[in-house]
Structure 1
Amino acid sequence: SDDHVLYCNIFINPSLSDDPVLYCNIFIKPSLSDDPVLYCNIFINPSLSDDHVKFFCFQVLEHQIKYRHGGLSPAQQQLIRETLMKWLQGQLMNSQPEKPFIRNKAAQVFALTFVMEYLTHWPKFFHDLLSLVGLNPHGVDVYLRTLMAIDAEVVDRDILHSPEEVRRNTLIKDGMREQVIPSLVESWYQILGAYQQSHPEITCQCLEVVGAYVSWIDLNLIANDRYVSLSVVSLSVVSLSVVSLSVVNKTKLVESLCQVLQSAGFFNVDQEEDVDFLAKFSRLVNGMGQSLVLSWTKLAKGGAVKEAAEALRALETKVPLLLQLLVHDDDDISANIVGFCYDYLNVLKQVRYTLGSNTFFPSLYPDIMLAVMKKLTYDEEYNFDNEGEDEAMFVEYRKQLKMLLDRLAQVSPDLLLEAVGRVFNNTIQRWQTASFMEVEVAIRLLYMLGEALPASHGAHFSGDTAKTSALQDMMRTLVSSGLSGYQHTSVSLEFFETVVRYDKFFLVEPQHIPIVLMSFLDHRGLRHSSPKVRSRVAYLFSRFVKTLHKHMNSFIEDILSRIQDLLELAPPENGFPALLTSDDQLFIFETAGVLIVHGESPAERKQALMRSLLTPLTDAFRLLLAKLASEREEERQAALADCLSHAVGFASRTSKAFSNKQTVKQCGCTEVYRDCLQTFLPALSCPVQRGSLRSAVRSFLHRMIICLEEEVLPFVPAASEHMLKDCEARDLQEFIPLISQITAKFKVTRDLQEFIPLISQITDQVSPFLQQVFMPLVLAIFEVLCRPAEDNDQAAALEKQMLRRSYFTFIQTITSSGMNEVLANQGVENVERVLFTIIQGAVDFPDPIAQKTCFIILSKLVELWGGKDGMAGFPDFIYKHIVPACFLAPLKPSFDLTDAQTVLTLSECALTLKMIHLRRGPEFIQYLQQEYLPSLQVSPEITQEVCQVLQQPDAKVLKNYMKVRSQLVVALETSPLCRLCLETSNDI
């Protein structure tokens, strides 16, 4: 009765005019669910033609049966049964079936009626149904849909049932097994035989029913030659092949089906030309194989040795068929069988582990290895220059094959290593005449061994020549064969990928480094004709150098000279396509930085090399910035800003080469990076393209805080002043971490007494800067947060939330870094303003992350200022604002204790109360007992309880107490009974 539109549609529908009294009664009836008679009459009315009205009437009956069945009179229950059968009888006489959604809803109502009445009022449910339906196609359709609906109600394990429903469903299944299952199985057989050719959709439905019921009925009723022969014939109908897969669920059924399939000639895969049929057949075999694996697993775990051995033998007999399908030229057919192959190899692994490493393997195990290696090979049609859907599918298929290779290695690493070595060596010996597919897959197999084999089989190289591994031999062959010159994109990529995968090889045989370095630097690598190869090699080269830089000292300046042109900034007006993209150049700049920083040159030479690397960037930056300031065309401005951002990014990337052992100062490069800062900072005041330029310079400042340490501080005030001008929420959100990083980096710590002179120097610089920038930054944040926004503007709301979090994190950083004087020196009015925002963040905003941060701040401020020698007036603030915040925040409706962050917030809230007690002592307990808690009308008993818990030395006691009390309050507020008590009595 909630949806009046339905009743209005019924009322005005012209097709309902034969009997308007019924519909008028529905329309004006005050309780539409009390009388199912009306709906039964509508629903069998021959003049009713509106599908939506029929569907609605079925819904009403469904509601009656599901929720009000026990309240219906016997006459009403009988009426519903008769109505359903009359409706079904009407379907038998109709030339056209009802719409599918009507038939599905009818099946649901039949199934619900069956569940409610089969054990009591309608034990002959199936007998009546089958007697009426016979082999009428419309009736059979409803019958099969009803069986599937019954399966959903009674059997489906994915649906949660109450204990009472589970007991009921068990009784129903037991009753069906005793009384009707043989009749149902026979009806399925008759349906399959009658409609196999004429009505394939009904045959599909019937096979689905068999698949659903086979898991809990007597298997012998289906697992017999008579039944399976009929099922096999359905495989000749292409549209049914997939459905047949659902029939194979148990070992005996699988074996029976396999025998019939084999006798019918379906195992002759090589003679079958219908690829679509084989794709479906391979899915069927995959399902059968996985079912046998599952059976073996359960039997083996259950200790049924004999039965497990039989299942294993049955499994072994399917492997030849598995191989035929796995090596098929069509990858779809092969991919369909990968699941079975993977599970079978897992069985072999478990058997070998159980019986010992010398267990004899089936003779077909090597054939599986060769099949996987063969199928890894590219097709000649693969388009490397313009990869589309087909190529993407092959890449995914290769990933599946890699899983098989990994599993093969787990079963027998020695056999796999031997097989790969044989394929690899045979191919590399004739690489000049071999096809690219052969060469690529040979290198690919070597690459894959790195993950597939355990370390004990040579994944890690040894310098001991007596223990030279097969992998080491293959790597030596690869790098000394001249194969890097093979002119195909796939081979080039695979060569460099493998060289970097096994970069540890060059640590034990460094004599091969020069020849590989040249391949990276010339037309085979960074200057390859393919942009795809150049891009990937730029990344791989950086990895190669990072690992082996200690062995490259004598080549450093030669390498820098050879990559000089790749380090040039490409201005927009250049017009010539660059060899590398800006993203690729990042890796080259980082590589150059690593070579310089980690070389064995003295600091003066490193400084000269780094200046030579970065000076072209800064010179170009000045020229481009001047152009940007005078440029009026927006598209041109964006291009120039991008180029300027790239220059800053390149300089920043070189700094990644420094470490705790090789600092900027130790390498003599401080002045070089100070000059870069001096060059880049004017971009902050550029009137156009501020967003991208500010972001780039801000990122560079982050890096310089790490690398230059106190040398960066003189640049920060001016940079901050520029970044706080005309800023948006996102600008502030990104700026605050920079200030927080400075505060945290240069904080005063009591643990570093030996560095007091240095700390004093840093503090002298940082503290005045923070005091200077603090209120302008805070006011800028307040201004942005107070800007009006549309109610439904979720993006703006999220930006404000993130900015608020960043603001509180900034305050937390200051208070926890020993620089609380920065806040204290802002003047009384400003300090109070900031403190009130923290109280507001702790209580009013439904953001547990921000709330947690606010309570951390409050606890720290109480620790710093809450003692008898603390800030004047702060004890008053504690009692008037912090204490109420600790009690009121957990009582907010938005304080959700099922949320993990909220639980952490509650913990910080408890710690704040503990800190107040620690700093104020008995005075705080007296305040709670005599003033605050009585003002909340808290009973003396609860007040005493709270104060006792607060005085416990273990903070966990208070945390747990507050959690329980908060949950109790929520329960009281949400319980109708408790609300009634609260409304009628103050003495709860």
Structure 2
Amino acid sequence: MDEQALLGLNPNADAAYRQRALVYFTQLKESQDAWQVCAEALAKGLYSDDHVKFFCFQVLEHHIKFRHAELSADQQQLIRETLMKWLQSQLNAPPEKAFIRNKAAQFFFDVLTVIGLNPRGVDLYLRTLMAIDAEVVDRDILHSSEETRRNTLIKDAMREQCIPSLVESWYQILHTFQQSHFELTCQCLEVVGAYVSWIDLNLIANDRFVNLLLSHMSVEVLREEACDCLFEIVNKGMDPVDKTKLVESLCQVLQTAGFFNVDQEEDVDFLAKFSKLVNGMGQALVASWTRLAKAGDLKSSQEALLALEAKVPLTLRLLAHEDDDISANIVGFCYDYLHVLKQLPLLTDQQKNYIEAIMVAVMKKLTYDDEYNFENEGEDEAMFVEYRKQLKLLLDRLAQVSPELLLDAVRRVFSATMQSWQSAPFMEVEVAIRLLYMMGEALPASQGAHFSGDGAKASALQEMMRMLVTSGVSEYQHTSVTLEFFETVVRYDKFFIVEPQHIPNVLMAFLDHRGLRHDGPKVRSRVAYLLSRYVKTLHKHMNTYIEDILNRIQDLLELSPRAPYSARLHDVLLKHYDDEKENGCLALLTRDDQLFVFETAGVLIVSSECAAERKGALMRSLLGPLMERFELLLGKLLQEQDEERQVALADCLHHAVGFASRTSKAFSNKQTVKQSGCSEVYLECLHTFMPALSCPVQKEALRGAVRTFLHRMIICLEEEVLPFIPAASERMLKDCEAKDLQEFIPLINQISTKFKGQVTSDPCDPSSQGQVFMPLVQAIFQVLARPAEENDQTAALEKQMLRRSYFAFLQTVTSGSSMHEVISNQGVENIEQKTCFTILTKLVELWGGKDGLVGFPDFIYKHIVPACFLAPLKPTFDLSDAQTILTLSECTLTLKMIHLKRGPEFIQYLQQEYLPSLQVSPDIIQELCQVLQQPDSKVLKNYIKAFFQRARQ
């Protein structure tokens, strides 16, 4: 071999040597017999360098893959002999590097003659087989159609030529090494499991092989791998009758060997594997029954049904096992078995007993254990929650098969537990209430049909709900029970429509130490949300209690600063800003919790039956303290120098606005703010919150909150909010960033869309769209023009998003009917009009062509063309002013762009429709149209001033 070229195989070789090695590799690949040199080098061990060995294997791989057909029988035999010699040389030598062994494993197919010589040879042989599986069989690897065809041919050839020999070799390996080399035995079991899906199963599923596997299941270090191997055998696709026979014979052997005595097995890891195997056997029998029943083979399908039902007793023991992993592995078969029962026309007593046994097991397994950490839930707790979800699916399937049996079983458990809840462990009480809760989805009709109000026909659910709310179990001192109580009360809120007499007691539970004032923050937080849902459904039945409820929650609605950083700062803030009463309630609810309580208060007030005047007074009593506190804290923020305290105060102010916004969620189309007598209160809120837009510190938090409130008020107050918009815009556009503008534009879009016919374009009108349009556009252009660092991806992205929002804004504005008025009414003493025409030119360029935005040509003629003529024709448009001439120049470019995009159509429109409507004389019209069609824009610019001077006469 070319020794100089081989030097280039070293990763540290210089470029020249590496290039020479590449050329040499190409030469060897193209040569007819160069592979023999590589084969000899490997067989005789001429090179110790790993990179040279790998190189030789690559050459051999190329010839085997791509030139195999050109090789004679003698040459093929020579390759095999060479590789076998290399293998023989490895048996007593130090092991090669992993990448060499893996490369060699791709070719060692004919190594059966050496497997008994050395465990290292067996290791390489098994690696070879797994490499073949990964390349040819593994369904998780995507292959091209050509590769798939090749793989099919390989498998066909292997089935024809060598699979029996391979299976025999596996048996010999398993038998030879089962006592001495457990790792090799497990490796071989993995190979059998991988290959069994596509080879003749009779080679494996026979007494000799199965007995060997069963013997492995009695060896502690082999039993789990043997179980997995049997699972793959059971999973093999085959004729349903044959599959039934296979599973039955395997089960018989397993049962005879004592493996069904799972109660006596202490190895939970093995039982988890065994449970998976039983699950596979059960699901295989279900699949066989399904296929046979669909084919109309009554005899065989009945045999399959008997076979699968014979596995149910074992399945029930595994399902009820105290180890959740073992139980979880059998849920799939239980689910499928219930599906089979659902399809049967009539259930036998035995089948009903099985259903009840599954119910009992599920109820047992739903129960928390003593070790569940409710205060600090970790990985184990998360796994149990997932396991509970599987059991819930099983419960749903039970309800589909036999809702009466399930409901009766749940009622028995629930009733017995509620009668003795004071002395029962928390997990029993929790799971009893949980079962009642789960019936809501398992029996979806329950919330309607089962709460009829007819005492004689009262459903089991209605009886259980009555027992739940009258038993006193809401006093149980455990978080899980408390939470389950409130969750269930809200799930079955329609029960209280039928029996509203229970509402006062349940409301008290929500409001006292059991709910909003519970010791645990997790309970308080969840109850705040659940109370809002409960009130939304039942507010019509709470009119009598509204003011009492509002009084009871008043202290929970206090607004006080909270420190986001440290306990020290928290203490300082409390001492600095809050009195003792406020300090006492701070720990009860988070800000987000308070949002739900404010929403609840709003719903109670708005939905009450009292007069509008009284509603307004109640809303003022709710929001008045909020506004007072807001003004006080805003003043403190303006004076505060410490940045951390500024953050805490700004957060408090932000949430104050959010609380007011949340109360407005109570209004609907049927119950508007005006009808409720609350308009004045919300207008006062607007006056109170607006100064925050001018605060020089913590601008993002404060502006964001007020902007969100304005969004809500546009919906609730409608046109009454319009006078606030120009002032709000002026403040929000001051010292703004790209993100501020991007978030502000949707507000203007909302106004433009909602008040199309009500928003004027008069800049003197305080609610004018014209007052907002140009300042916003200018702010956008200023921000986009700001230089940014080249690698500042965040700034670049924000500008990109701002451009998108800008075009969305323009699209919204242009969908209105007053665009030309907005532009033409801009004050000529400013530069706004020039910018307006620049924008319009860009819009026409983007959307005005034949393949532009749908509907935009109509907009050009209805709005842009009038804007180009009406503004210069106004007497206030001073044609002798330099700034005005610049504006006129931009107007000229807009007209030129329209002609460029619309062509003769535009000229015809000016001649026949638009200009005659302005009373422009025909000769001037003709003159203008001729100039417009000149290619040089300067000609039009020079002419346009004279045109407007003459047109005004």
TM-score interval (norm. to shorter): 0.7 to 0.9
Where does residue 535 of structure 2 map in the other structure? 545
Counterparts in 2 of 1:660 and 1:766: CA distance versus 1, 3 Å: farther
**SS of equivalent residue, structure 2 residue 353:** coil
1:205 to 187, 196, 216: 187
Q: Which residue of 2 aligns with 1:626?
A: 635
SS in 2 for 1:237: coil
Q: Is 1:237 aligned to residue 220 of structure 2?
A: yes
Instruction: Give the counterpart of 1:463 among 440, 444, 453.
Output: 453
- The residue number in structure 2 matching 1:755 is none
**Partner Cα separation in structure 2 for residue 521 and residue 51 of structure 1:** 76
Q: Which amino acid aligns with 1:488?
A: H
Deviation, 1:109, is 4.4
Q: Give 1:102-117 correspondences, 5 Å limit.
A: 102-110=100-108
For the residues of structure 2 that align with 1:773 and 1:571, how far apart are their CA atoms? 34
Residue 444 of structure 1 contacts residue 494 of structure 1 at CA under 8 Å; is this kept in 2?
A: yes
Using the alignment, how far apart are the partners of 2:906 and 2:294 within structure 1? 60
Quote how far apart the aligned CAs of 1:856 are: 5.0
Q: Which amino acid is the alignment partner of residue 241 of structure 1?
A: E
Please say if residues 460 and 504 of structure 1, whose CA atoms lie closer than 8 Å, have aligned partners that are also in contact.
no
Determine helix, strand or coil for the equivalent of 2:112.
helix
The answer to whether the 8 A contact 2:664-2:716 is kept is yes
Equivalent in 837, 840, 852 of residue 835 of structure 1: 840
Alpha-carbon offset, residue 769 of structure 1: 2.9
Aligned-partner Cα distance in 2 for 1:217–1:42:
36
Whole-angstrom distance in 2 between the partners of 1:387 and 1:86: 59
Aligned to 2:566: none
Offset at residue 861 of structure 1 (A): 2.8
Which residue is equivalent to 2:45?
Answer: 46
Q: CA, structure 1 residues 681+365, in 2 after alignment: closer, same or farther (shift >3 Å)?
A: same
Q: Structure 2 CA distance, aligned partners of 1:247 and 1:100?
A: 31
Give secondary structure in 2 for the equivalent of 1:29: helix
Matched, 1:877 2:897: yes
Match of residue 938 from structure 2:
none
Alignment partners' CA distance in 2, 1:109 and 1:864:
78
Structure 1, 762-771 or 80-89: larger mean CA deviation: 762-771
1:880 is matched by which residue type in structure 2? L
Does residue 149 of structure 1 match 2:141? no
- After superposition, where does 1:112-261 map in structure 2 within 5 Å? 128-134=110-116, 136-159=118-141, 168-235=150-217, 236-238=219-221, 241-242=224-225, 243-244=228-229, 245-250=231-236, 251=243, 252-261=245-254
The residue matched to 1:248 in structure 2 has which SS?
helix
Identify the residue that residue 589 of structure 2 maps to in structure 1.
Answer: 580
Matched, 1:821 2:820: yes
Task: Find the counterpart in structure 2 of residue 964 from structure 1.
Answer: none
Comparing 550-559 and 459-468, the one that deviates more = 459-468
Alignment pair present for 1:657 and 2:657: no
Alpha-carbon distance, 1:31 to partner: 3.5
For residue 59 of structure 1, report the CA deviation from its aligned partner.
4.3
Q: 1:396 deviation in Å?
A: 1.7
TM-score by length of 1: 0.79
**What is the correspondence of 1:723-734 to structure 2 with a 5 Å cutoff?**
723-734=732-743
Matches for 1:701-716 after TM superposition, within 5 Å = 701-716=710-725
Q: Distance in 2 between matches of 1:650 and 1:92?
A: 78
1:682 is displaced (CA, Å) by: 0.6
Which amino acid in the other structure matches residue 311 of structure 2? K
Please give the secondary structure, in 2, of the residue aligned with 1:778. helix
Gaps of 5+ in 2: 237-242, 563-572, 576-582, 827-831, 871-891, 914-934, 936-953
TM-score where L is the length of structure 2: 0.82
In structure 1, the residue matched to 2:411 is 421
Structure 1 residues 621 and 148: CA distance shift in structure 2, 3 A? same
Residue 687 of structure 1 corresponds to which residue in structure 2?
A: 696
Q: Partner residue of 1:780? A: 779
Quick one: percent identity of the two aligned structures?
67
Q: In the TM superposition, what is the alpha-carbon distance from 1:241 to its structure 2 partner?
A: 0.9
Alignment of 1:426-505 (within 5 A): 426-455=416-445, 461-505=451-495
Aligned amino acid, residue 100 of structure 2: I
Select the structure of larger CA radius of gyration.
2
d(CA) in 2 for partners of 1:401 and 1:25?
A: 66
Does structure 2 retain, via aligned residues, the 8 Å contact 1:11–1:27?
A: no
Per-residue CA deviations over 1:364-403 (Å, capped at 9, x if unaligned) read: 2211110000111111222222222222222222111111
- Say if 1:249 and 1:291, in contact at 8 Å, map to a contact too: yes
**Does the 8 Å CA contact 1:461/1:472 hold for their aligned counterparts?**
yes
1:403 and 2:393 are equivalent in the alignment: yes
Q: CA deviation at 1:61?
A: 4.2
Deviation readout 1:38-81 (Å, 9 max, x if unpaired): 65455556254444554455445445544565678989867654
Partners of 1:918 and 1:279 lie apart in 2 by 84
Deviations 1:810-834 (A, max 9, x none): 0011111223225543666323421
> Counterpart of 1:345?
338
Superposed CA deviations along residues 728-777 of structure 1, whole A, max 9, x for unmatched, are 111111000011011111012xxxxxxxxxx4789999896322222221
The offset of 1:837, in angstroms, is 4.1
Kindly indicate whether the alpha-carbon contact (under 8 Å) linking 2:760 and 2:767 is maintained by their aligned counterparts in 1.
no
1:559-598 deviations in Å (ceiling 9; x for gaps): 1011111111123433634311111000000000000000
Shift of 1:537: 0.6
Q: How big is each residue's C-alpha offset from its partner over 1:695-723, in whole Å with a ceiling of 9 and x where there is no partner?
A: 11111111111111111111111111111
In 2, the alpha carbon distance for the partners of 1:6 and 1:805 equals: 59
Q: Is the 8 A contact 2:260 2:314 kept in 1?
A: yes
* One-letter amino acid matched to 1:622: E
Residue 293 of structure 1, CA deviation: 2.9
The offset of 1:170, in angstroms, is 4.3
CA 1:641–1:314: 2 relative to 1, 3 Å? same
Report the Cα distance in structure 1 between the residues aligned to 2:70 and 2:854, rounded to whole angstroms: 59
- Amino acid of the structure 1 residue aligned with 2:713: M
* 1:238 and 1:277 in contact (8 A); partners too: no
The answer (yes or no) to whether the contact 1:200–1:240 under 8 Å persists in 2 is: no
After superposition, the Cα gap between the structure-2 partners of 1:616 and 1:404, relative to the gap in structure 1 and judged at 3 Å, is same
One-letter amino acid of the structure 1 residue matched with residue 21 of structure 2? I
The structure-2 alpha-carbon separation of the partners of 1:820 and 1:552, relative to structure 1 and needing over 3 Å to count, comes to same
Residues 97-106 or 453-462, more deviating: 453-462
Matched-pair contact (CA < 8 Å) for 2:820–2:867 = no
Matched residues in 2 for 1:616 and 1:199: separation?
80
RMSD: 3.6
Q: Is the 8 A contact 2:5 2:20 kept in 1?
A: no
Q: For residue 780 of structure 1, what is the amino acid of its counterpart?
A: A
Q: Is the 8 A contact 1:424 1:442 kept in 2?
A: yes
Q: Partners of 2:761 and 2:612 in 1: how far apart?
A: 25
Distance 1:622 1:171, change over 3 A: closer
CA distance in 2, matches of 1:299, 1:173: 30
One of 255, 263, 270 as aligned partner of 2:263? 270
Name the CA shift for 1:149/1:565 in 2 (closer, same or farther; >3 Å): same
Deviation at 1:185, TM superposition (A): 1.5
Question: Which whole-Å CA distance do the structure 2 matches of 1:519 and 1:696 have between them?
Answer: 33
Which of residues 11, 30, 33 is equivalent to 1:34?
30
Judged with a 3 Å threshold, the aligned counterparts in structure 2 of structure 1 residues 764 and 412 are, in CA distance, closer, same or farther, namely farther
Pairwise CA distance, 1:521: 1.0
Residue of 737, 749, 760 corresponding to 1:740: 749
Matches within 5 A, 1:500-539: 500-539=490-529
* 2:323 paired residue among 317, 330, 334: 330
1:601 corresponding residue in structure 2: 610
Give the number of equivalent residue pairs.
848
- Aligned match of 1:643 in 647, 652, 660? 652
State the secondary structure of the residue aligned to 2:768. helix
2: CA distance, partners of 1:634 / 1:863: 55
User: Are positions 1:589 and 2:598 aligned together?
Assistant: yes
Paired residue for 1:554?
544
Matching residue's letter, 2:686: L
